[in-house]
Chain A
Amino acid sequence: MSDIQNLPMARAINAGLRKAMTADDKVLLMGEDIGTLGGVFRVTEGLQTEFGKGRVIDTPLAESGIVGTAIGLAMRGYRPVVEIQFDGFIFPGFNQITTQLAKLTNRHEGQIQMPVVIRVPYGGHIGAVEHHQESPEALFAHTAGLRLVSPSNPNDAYWMIQEAIASNDPVMFFEPKSRYWHKGDVELDASAAPLHATRVVREGTEVTVLGHGAMINVLLAAADIAAEEGTSIEVIDLRSISPIDYGPILESVRKTGRLVVASEAPGFVSVSSEIAATVTEQAFYSLESPVIRVTGFDTPFPPAKVETIYLPDADRVLEAVDRALAY
């Protein structure tokens, strides 16, 4: 009989971290306020008490320092899991992530590995101040040497954090912070999919809509509304941002003939653009309409009182679905 627990995503990640730390004593956590406080989102709550200050390290307040020393620890044989406190605070660590972490395996011509996980709470919907609601994943997806993933639900979060830690390559683990406290069933016995697998989360026949992280909740709501109006939407959860698992995407597009790609991030030079271009190249004759992007605007993330206008919601997704169907 399988063991299932109903957990919010933050607790699911906490449970996944605990399991990885129990399985391998080289796994350690580093970040600002993650120890005594348990992290500003409490994702690491209780872990320092359980594993000690040598395995759950409260660091000085310096993102480059955190990532740079995590690299050194990985060279020593550790498997550091770094927490960046908020998406918009990752940039002081950008150099260490892109010029060092991403390139060190290549610089050593494969003779060393960089099993470092960088956890990044990201995205909007929480009404926060500047730098606390951004979606910077495209900036990292453009850098060779990194792997990027983002779970949309507690079960994926529980398994994907463990799979990310097990990877011998650096993995950026984008956590949709607006989903931290939403519960879902977590299957504790077996992972449903590998780390880089894209999955169909709702089957449909007329239009495929695709996204990742918190956007999945929006896409599922849009699919419900569309169903009431008689339109059948297939929803795909990207899960892996780099590399992208195109198999299920192309299969779906060949079935529906229409694709809407949605993200909170700005659309210009984005993960959404990349998917639109590749699907156009590889499924051109299956498409009944152009691939349409529904994204954040190409502006800075706005003040919280207008964020709901900036962030794509079910209505904006459905407006794009209608445009796709009109071709």
Chain B
Amino acid sequence: MSYTEATVQLLSPEGSIVTSDLSAEYLPYIERLTDEQLRDFHRQMVVVRRFDQEGTNLQRQGQMGLWVPSVGQEGAQVGSGFAARAQDHIFPAYREHAVARIRGVDLIDIVRLLRGVTHGGWNPADHGNFHLYTLVIGAHTLHATGYAMGIALDGKSGTGNPETDEAVMVYFGDGATSQGDVNEAMVFAASFQTPEVFFLQNNHWAISVPVTTQSRTPLYLRPSGFGIRGIQIDGNDVLASYAVTAKNLDDARGGAGPRFIEALTYRIGAHTSSDDPTKYRDDAELHYWEARDPIIRFEAYLRSRGEGDAFFASVNEEAEDFAADIRRRTLELPTPPASLIFDHVYSEQHPVIDEQKAWLSAYEASFDANGGVA
């Protein structure tokens, strides 16, 4: 399940601008971008790919229980991430490291999660409205839709003011499209005409099960059955991801109702550090997608615009520094106190929690410093 006649592509795998009937609607969004914004696209993709590599290394060295790589999906994530406005709310799945960074999340917070220091631990309101990762596949799409219902109830969409109107963007994968929750989210979104963009990263694999097992129809066609407009894009084209998302978020914010974007991309790495993709997929497919890498093509595009070696070298250096900083801070992460087990189960006083916390405290105090019973 790859590119179709409907796939919107603004940048070819060779790095040149595509002019076509499909791209015409979106090219104006690209023409507005400044050189610095374009450099930022590249910078984010490269830094997050290096972060990903460092995450894998740290996991292999026993510093994290699990790593969830996003290698290959940087184009889809960086483009869509930059397309959202500050007032929008982002509901990620659990692989959207690039979007997290664009929204201002310190990526050590992702490391904390995968190291087992926290289950989440940040307040979206203080982190660019970037919500916590959700590990139950697709469950968060309903939270996103409910949040978007709230925006509409508050009268914060459809006023015609793009500076204050709000929207929600929710990320999920091809496997999630089989979940009831994702389908129910589309039902509710359509019923209540929520200001919301469903952003599907079709990376072709749900661990070992190919997308062809999830769907016999291109996934961008699914939402039409719910009364939601679906658009398919080349997800490894950061410019298409940016422009199409910006356009559809504008529509959603403006009160046009929900939208659905299928970004065709590929999970170059394993599902997680616990996975071995050589057991279920062949090299030819991998090579096909490596030839459509989002960073390589965007670098070619920037070079064609006159960007020189010095810029690319400086980005690589920034990425190395970022990875080194993550490594240093990972090793310094403190183990949380035992009180973390109890402290936030409820937001109001709860006798069972209080009693068990006090019991554990007394139990631990009953041992003396030398390991015997006091």
Contacts and interface: CB of A to CB of B under 8 A. Distances in A.
Contacts of B121: 107-109, 111
Interface string A58-82: 0110101101111111111110000
Contacts of A187: none
Contact of B132 (A64, A78, A107): A107
B318 to A, nearest CB: 31
**Interface-central residue, A64, A76, A144, by most chain B CB under 10 Å:** A76
A65 B185 contact: yes
Contact of B148 (A71, A72, A243): A72
How many residues of B sit at the interface, in one of the four size bands? 35 or more
A5 interface: no
Contacts of B350: 243
Interface stretch (B21-29, B135-143, B262-270): B135-143
Contact of B119 (A62, A92, A107, A245): A107
Nearest to B132: A107
Contacts of A64: 142, 180-181, 184
Contacts of B191: 59-60
B348 A168 contact: yes
Greatest chain B CB density within 10 A among A64, A78, A103, A147 is at: A64
B197 to A, nearest CB: 15
B280 interface: no
Given A72-B142, A72-B145, A169-B346, A108 B187 contact: no
A187 to B, nearest CB: 25
Given A75-B143, A99-B139, A100-B143, A68 B185 contact: yes
A77 B89 CA distance: 14
Interface string B140-163: 011111111111011000000000
B181 A69 contact: no
Interface in B172-196: 180-181, 184-185, 187-188, 191
Nearest to B336: A109
Contact of A106 (B119, B184, B188, B351): B119
B interface, by DSSP: helix, strand, loop or mixed? helix
Contact of A60 (B141, B188, B352): B188
A159 to B, nearest CB: 17
Contacts of B180: 62, 64, 92
B136 A72 contact: no
Given A59-B188, A73-B150, A95-B139, A113 B118 contact: no
Contact of B146 (A54, A60, A70, A105): A70
B343 interface: yes
A59 B149 CA distance: 12
Nearest to B186: A65
A100 B141 CA distance: 12
Contacts of A145: 345-346
A199 to B, nearest CB: 16
B347 A169 contact: yes
A109 B347 contact: no
Nearest to A196: B351
Nearest to B121: A109
Interface in B335-374: 340, 343-348, 350-352
A145 B346 CA distance: 6
Interface of A: 28, 54, 59-60, 62, 64-65, 67-78, 92, 95-96, 99-100, 103, 105-114, 144-145, 147, 167-169, 243, 245
14 contacts: A28-B153, A60-B187, A68-B184, A68-B185, A69-B142, A69-B146, A72-B142, A76-B147, A96-B139, A96-B142, A106-B345, A107-B119, A110-B347, A243-B350
Given A72-B148, A243-B351, 4 more contacts: A60-B187, A60-B191, A108-B122, A243-B350
Interface of B: 118-124, 131-132, 134, 136, 139, 141-151, 153-154, 180-181, 184-185, 187-188, 191, 340, 343-348, 350-352
